[in-house]
Amino acid sequence: MTSIQSKKLFLGIVGGGPKSWIGHVHRIASRFDDHYEVVAGVFSRNPKLSKKFGKSLGISADRCYSNYKEMAEKESVKKDGVNVVSIMTPPSSHQIIAEEFINKNIHIISDKPFAGNLNQAKKLYKKIKSNKKINYALTHNYSAYPMVRQAKHLVEKGKIGKIEYINVEYIQDWLKGINLTTKNAKKILKWKIDKKIVGASAVLNEIGSHAYHLAIYISGLRGDKIFADIKNFSKKIKGDANAQAMVNFNNQAKGMFWISSVPRGGVYGLKIRIFGSKGSLEWAQNNPGYLRFNPARGAVRLLEKGFFEADFSKKFTRVKYGHPEGYLDAFANIYKEFAKSLTAKSKKRYFYPNEDEGLETAKFIEACKISSRRKKWVKI
């Protein structure tokens, strides 16, 4: 592995092959700010397909690998080997792939969730903390939107006082209006109904982890107890499709979460509202350039990205106020910050999600599962 003195960081990729939408997102995000050069990868379980796709990206044939173990072994001894590896595979593989590269002192950027289940999450967390030579980032990309960072800043400055209530909903209609049957389930949902691949919960690992992370990221709180109700796709098609949860946070605040992959016509929707003793904040991912700030007394303010009272958000924007900025930019913010954390000569605060938050989301998901099964409040 080369030292972190080069103009660009050498990036390796595991996953994100030709049919992967999220792989395309990661690759674009890594190139936004010219901090990385993609030089190696394994893109498919099929060695021929992996090499063919890698070469189509301009990667040298001898660095288009057949599997991640081969890649970790060979890249770690190259003088120009990868500095960072991006993992964009299904949840249950995140831990074992990350650990292989951590053992070689290679930094990690991983797609969410942190791991497939809590047991994997604990093992990965321990592995990361035991190696002081590596940094780890988790692409909960919603935390990198400028106005989400602005919201976090306002909370830390005490602008809404002590947080009392948090409400989050994240819905996606995975079925696209189609009636799910035992015959078409695998075609529509693919690996999302395979527990060995998706991990503890389809809906909670895929979008619930985002919802909970957004809540703890902005608020700075952690969940204490939870009461959850989880629903499967159907009696015959096992797999978590809908989750509703009440959360008691560690400062006595109350939270309500609705996470669903089956709301008819609910094409997309991530929303958060945080209420404090002095006022509230509201943010919706479908209108990401604005943050609604509602003081308990006084005029409601609609803060715009990078404009006057939202000055803190300028640190995370690439275009001026009045112009939209979104999903790809948020991903790119994480990649940029991670690169700076590796190359900066002086220490400063970075805002990208890491293993600490990853473990918290895994605890949340496991607690939801236990609570729903027992029909009672449980400790997170």
The CA–CA distances, whole Å, from 93 to 107, 121, 148, 199 equal: 17, 11, 29, 9
Q: Return d(Cα 98, Cα 13) in angstroms, integer.
A: 11
Q: Is residue 159 domain-shared with residue 129, that is, in the same domain?
A: no
Domain extent, residue 85, equals 9-141
Note down pLDDT in tens along the chain; length 380 residues.
666 655 799 999 999 999 899 999 999 999 999 999 999 999 999 999 999 999 999 999 999 999 999 999 999 999 999 999 999 999 999 999 999 999 999 999 999 999 999 999 999 999 999 999 999 999 999 999 999 999 999 999 999 999 999 999 999 999 988 999 999 999 999 999 999 999 999 999 999 999 999 999 999 999 999 999 999 999 999 899 999 999 999 999 999 999 999 998 887 889 999 999 999 999 999 999 999 999 999 999 999 999 988 999 999 998 888 888 899 999 999 999 999 999 988 889 999 999 999 999 999 999 999 999 999 999 99
> What is the number of structural domains in the chain?
2
The CA–CA distances, whole Å, from 374 to 18, 205, 229, 369 equal: 42, 20, 10, 9
Q: Is residue 152 domain-shared with residue 135, that is, in the same domain?
A: no
Question: Directed axis angle between helix 94-102 and helix 68-75, to 10°?
Answer: 20
User: Could you check whether the bond before residue 113 is cis, i.e. omega within 30 degrees of 0?
Assistant: yes
Burial 142-163 (b: 16+ CB within 10 A, else e): bbbbbbbbbbbbbbeeebbeeb
Q: Return d(Cα 41, Cα 11) in angstroms, integer.
A: 9
Residue 336 belongs to a domain: no
The CA–CA distances, whole Å, from 5 to 10, 22, 103, 105, 342 equal: 11, 29, 21, 16, 10
Q: Is residue 162 domain-shared with residue 280, that is, in the same domain?
A: yes
CATH number of the domain that residue 36 is part of: 3.40.50.720
Residue where one domain finishes, among candidates 114, 141, 168: 141
DSSP state, residue 179: P
Q: Is residue 115 domain-shared with residue 160, that is, in the same domain?
A: no
Q: Is residue 82 domain-shared with residue 219, that is, in the same domain?
A: no
